[in-house]
Chains A and B, each alone.
Chain A
Amino acid sequence: MSAVVAEHEHDEHHDHGPQKGLLRWVITTNHKDIGTLYLVFSLAMFFIGGAMAMIIRAELFEPGMQFVDPQFFNSMTTMHALVMVFGAVMPAFVGLANWMIPMMIGAPDMALPRMNNMSFWMLVAGVLLLASTLFMEGGAPASGWTLYPPLVLQTGAALPFAIFSVHLLGISSIMGAINIIATIFNMRAPAMTLMKMPLFVWTWLITAFLLIAIMPVFAGAVTMLLTDRFFDTSFFDAAGGGDPVLYQHIFWFFGHPEVYVMILPTFGVASTIIPVFARKPLFGYSSMVYATASIAFLSFIVWAHHMFTVGMPVAGELYFMYATMLIAIPTGVKVFNWTATMWKGSMTFETPMLFSIAFVVLFTIGGFTGLMMSIAPSDFQYHDTYFIVAHFHYTLVPASVFILMAAGYYWLPKWTGNMYNERIGKLHFWLSAVSVNILFFPQHFLGLAGMPRRIPDYAVQFADWNMISSIGGFIFGISQLLFLYIVIDTIKGGTGEKATDEVWEDAHKHGLEWTLPSPPPYHTFTTPPATVPTEHI
């Protein structure tokens, strides 16, 4: 054996397993290793961001100031959002992309393996810079995750760190996205034509395009914040001829597509899971592809629906109102297709399917509130209230996060070779599904009654629903520990039952990954597969 190890340095092409020791994880270029790194990292961030949410809900449990001072409260809402968006949800989907895309399209690895490693470490660096601001003079940024000037320019020592953190996160996302596009366009098995790709791959292709288009825009916006604060420029200062509203336009030109960055891969995973458990092909495969593409296109031309109250010209209000409503069409196509896929299917309700069905139902609620807010005159009432908080949490928690859970349950047996504990999985699902509604549904009422968002104290009329919401929040938070337990337990052997190659009944007809052993060897598809499954189409 030692001869082989010594030779290792010289013969890089020798087919071999992972490097020994911890260094493996630092210098790895293997898509499965990097996928694992991303997923573990995002799970950790999910709990850190979750802890911040618990602080928020504890403070809002009752009217009056209980636990934290207002400045810190605002830091918590800001950091919670930034950590969840950039640290938890986005990296989790990149992790899934890394693990699954090469295996789904029959590629030996990602197209640019070294850059893949760098994307991950840039992410860690960015999040570390961001986290360091919690300990700085003046506290972490407290302006809300949108970082609007002039307020954000009052941040203390944290400001340049937060800005550079955005730059690093942007570089990380762009490198990751370039890699995904190059992989999908250039590394598919010859039999895997574009319109045979699993929808997860399609949605990621389009998401990656969005990322490359928008991350530089956010980088540009925060760069102007930096120069306005430190280098005398007047981009967002009317006295010098600039305009603070300009920042909002640029931010939301990034920000609206950004929310689709989090939801499109969600759609992709849902479209991958639902057919397997409904034992039917996906209904309307090609319409799913076109709907995804049109959502992505529309996402670039609707941004100012976040700014109905800034004092835009009426023509602008009307344009952005109608354009936003258009998004409901492709979104509706998708919801219809998922439902039609389940229609008359012989369904079984394993944990991944439960989470996916809950996603379809609860995401639709978020979509509907979105539609309500797209009506400009109505949005004058909803804007900056808890109604929005309810809206986007419905689109993010019981949608993106639920689907991430579903993906975890769905692919964990493939990744680890062990079955997870279905009983605890179902318990996790039911606790989450019930508590998430106790947590967020009352926030609609609070918002409609006029409770502003990002506020540590409130009028007593809002007391009851806030208390209920907080109770839901605590149950939801604690329930997620079950997921942590299941992940660790499954890695260590789970129920003791070994996962078969296809794991789920007939899954091998739906995706190439199920034709591989569970767990798959370190290198897969070093030669492309001759045929590809097409049951998902």
Chain B
Amino acid sequence: MSTNNAYYVPHKATWPVVGTAGLVIMLAGFANHLNGSPMGSAWMILGLVVFIIMLTGWFTLQAGESESGMYNTQVGISYRMGMMWFIFSEIMFFGVFFGTLWYTRNLSVPWLGGEGIGQATKELLWPSFDAVWPTNGPANVGGEFEPMGAWGLPFLNTLILLTSGVTCTWAHHGLLAKKRDQLIKGLVATVALGFLFVACQAYEYHEAYSEMGLTLGSGIYGSTFFMLTGFHGFHVCVGAIILSVVLFRSWRGHFKPENHFAFEAAAWYWHFVDVVWLGLFVFVYLM
């Protein structure tokens, strides 16, 4: 067995090809579905199932290895670096959509309304366009809509996510202090708050579509609103699922104060999702 000072290098890996196959089947199926092929969605679901099987298998393998003490401190550092840089890539991904929002609100929409370099555009193309945010553009794409306010559900959701950040940290303290009970309670609360957030978000979307005329097709306002909140909501789901797995492992007695990478990674991810939400609350809902 591994001595504690050798870096653990696994020698065979079957999950990566399984995962790749799953992902490519899913995406090819999705592409076919978008092109109107009737079999597309079936392939998509098949690919997704394969992908989920891969995730389950791979993480079970890693959890087992971790619990049997095969990872020394140096391996742990590699995993932490991996997670940190992954989160950095996610920040850049969200950055694109925040940047899009900034660019349209501060540059291209005013230009459409005749400011700066947009004078001719306004006079020749859209003389009657009044460039005020929120807008669905000079062609009134998607028809009349009502913008989403900040102080109803979104504010509640802010409180929910912030609280969940606290419970997550509380759980971490429990883990460090070997209070398994606190660890599990904290995680249960975090996961519950996470899914509560998603439920509120779903309700908000329902309202938008059925009552406010606000859809993904409501010009640039609808596009940025749903793209940003949608990708964020998806990340909350993923984060909550990861935390559920961590909860399950905690309940099975995994993790020690000096060795709990999975918990840390999940917590980092959760805080990241939390911070993105604050950005959304300010730039999408408030301003």
CA distance A413 to B22 in the complex (A): 38
Given known A240-B142, A242-B223, A249-B103, contact A213–B16 (CB-CB < 8 A): no
| Neighbouring A residues of B137 by C-beta, 8 Å | 234, 237-242
Answer whether residue B92 sits at the interface, using C-beta atoms and an 8 A cutoff: yes
Answer whether residue B24 sits at the interface, using C-beta atoms and an 8 A cutoff: yes
Report the minimal beta-carbon distance from A374 to chain B, rounded to whole angstroms. Answer: 22
Map CB proximity to B onto A104-127 as digits: 1 under 8 Å, 0 otherwise: 000011011111011001101100
CB nearest neighbor in B for A174: B89
CA distance A523 to B10 in the complex (A): 12
Stretch among B26-34, B157-165, B199-207 lining the A interface:
B26-34
| Neighbouring A residues of B11 by C-beta, 8 Å | 12, 16, 19, 29-30
A234 near B220: Cβ-Cβ < 8 Å: yes
CA distance A234 to B141 in the complex (A): 8
Contact of A213 among B14, B92, B223 (CB under 8 A): B92
| Neighbouring A residues of B86 by C-beta, 8 Å | 174, 178
Map CB proximity to B onto A202-214 as digits: 1 under 8 Å, 0 otherwise: 0000000000111
What residues of chain A have their CB less than 8 Å away from a CB belonging to chain B? Answer: 12-13, 16, 19, 26-30, 108-109, 111-115, 117-118, 121-122, 124-125, 128-129, 132, 157, 160-161, 163-164, 167-168, 171, 174, 177-179, 181-182, 185-187, 212-217, 219-221, 224, 226-227, 230-235, 237-243, 245-246, 249-250, 311-313, 523, 526
CA distance A12 to B58 in the complex (A): 17
| Neighbouring A residues of B16 by C-beta, 8 Å | 27, 114-115, 117-118, 121
| Neighbouring B residues of A124 by C-beta, 8 Å | 20
Contact of B78 among A16, A112, A163, A215 (CB under 8 A): A112
Report the minimal beta-carbon distance from B114 to chain A, rounded to whole angstroms. Answer: 13
Report the minimal beta-carbon distance from B68 to chain A, rounded to whole angstroms. Answer: 12
Answer whether residue B182 sits at the interface, using C-beta atoms and an 8 A cutoff: no
Contact of B31 among A117, A161, A224, A249 (CB under 8 A): A161
A115 near B82: Cβ-Cβ < 8 Å: yes
CA distance A388 to B27 in the complex (A): 35
CA distance A159 to B30 in the complex (A): 12
Stretch among B104-112, B146-154, B264-272, B276-284 lining the A interface:
B104-112
B81 near A12: Cβ-Cβ < 8 Å: no
A224 near B112: Cβ-Cβ < 8 Å: no
| Neighbouring A residues of B58 by C-beta, 8 Å | 114
CA distance A115 to B13 in the complex (A): 9
B104 near A13: Cβ-Cβ < 8 Å: no
Given known A240-B141, A241-B138, contact A160–B30 (CB-CB < 8 A): yes
CA distance A290 to B10 in the complex (A): 36
A181 near B85: Cβ-Cβ < 8 Å: yes
CA distance A217 to B93 in the complex (A): 6
| Neighbouring A residues of B223 by C-beta, 8 Å | 227, 233-235, 240, 242
Stretch among B1-9, B168-176, B189-197, B245-253 lining the A interface:
B1-9
Report the minimal beta-carbon distance from B127 to chain A, rounded to whole angstroms. Answer: 14
Answer whether residue B239 sits at the interface, using C-beta atoms and an 8 A cutoff: no
Answer whether residue B167 sits at the interface, using C-beta atoms and an 8 A cutoff: no
Residue of B21, B96, B112 with most partner-chain A CB within 10 A = B96
CA distance A185 to B108 in the complex (A): 42
Q: A27-B16, A112-B82 are in contact. List 15 more A-B contacts (CB 8 A).
A: A13-B6, A27-B13, A27-B14, A113-B10, A114-B10, A125-B20, A215-B89, A227-B216, A231-B216, A237-B137, A238-B108, A239-B141, A240-B139, A241-B138, A312-B117
A29 near B93: Cβ-Cβ < 8 Å: no
CA distance A233 to B12 in the complex (A): 44
Given known A164-B27, A240-B220, A241-B135, contact A213–B88 (CB-CB < 8 A): yes
Report the minimal beta-carbon distance from A350 to chain B, rounded to whole angstroms. Answer: 34
Residue of A168, A226, A238 with most partner-chain B CB within 10 A = A238
Given known A178-B82, A240-B220, A313-B116, contact A160–B139 (CB-CB < 8 A): no
Tell me how many residues of B have a C-beta within 8 Å of chain A.
70
What residues of chain B have their CB less than 8 Å away from a CB belonging to chain A? Answer: 1-2, 6-7, 9-17, 19-21, 23-24, 27-28, 30-31, 34-35, 58, 74, 77-79, 81-82, 85-86, 88-90, 92-93, 95-97, 99-100, 103-104, 107-109, 111-112, 116-117, 135-139, 141-142, 215-217, 219-224, 226-227
| Neighbouring A residues of B116 by C-beta, 8 Å | 313
A-B contacts, 16 listed (Cβ < 8 Å): A114-B16, A168-B23, A168-B24, A178-B82, A182-B85, A186-B78, A186-B81, A212-B88, A217-B95, A232-B216, A234-B141, A234-B217, A238-B137, A241-B141, A243-B111, A312-B117
CA distance A249 to B139 in the complex (A): 24
A311 near B89: Cβ-Cβ < 8 Å: no
Report the minimal beta-carbon distance from B60 to chain A, rounded to whole angstroms. Answer: 14
| Neighbouring A residues of B99 by C-beta, 8 Å | 250
CB nearest neighbor in B for A16: B11
B89 near A27: Cβ-Cβ < 8 Å: no
A160 near B88: Cβ-Cβ < 8 Å: no
A27 near B138: Cβ-Cβ < 8 Å: no
Given known A16-B11, A113-B13, A164-B28, contact A182–B96 (CB-CB < 8 A): no
B222 near A246: Cβ-Cβ < 8 Å: no
Report the minimal beta-carbon distance from A184 to chain B, rounded to whole angstroms. Answer: 10
A219 near B227: Cβ-Cβ < 8 Å: no
Report the minimal beta-carbon distance from B238 to chain A, rounded to whole angstroms. Answer: 15
| Neighbouring B residues of A212 by C-beta, 8 Å | 85, 88-89, 92
Report the minimal beta-carbon distance from B81 to chain A, rounded to whole angstroms. Answer: 4
Given known A108-B7, A238-B112, A241-B104, contact A29–B24 (CB-CB < 8 A): no
A232 near B95: Cβ-Cβ < 8 Å: no
CA distance A312 to B103 in the complex (A): 13
A219 near B93: Cβ-Cβ < 8 Å: yes
CB nearest neighbor in A for B1: A13
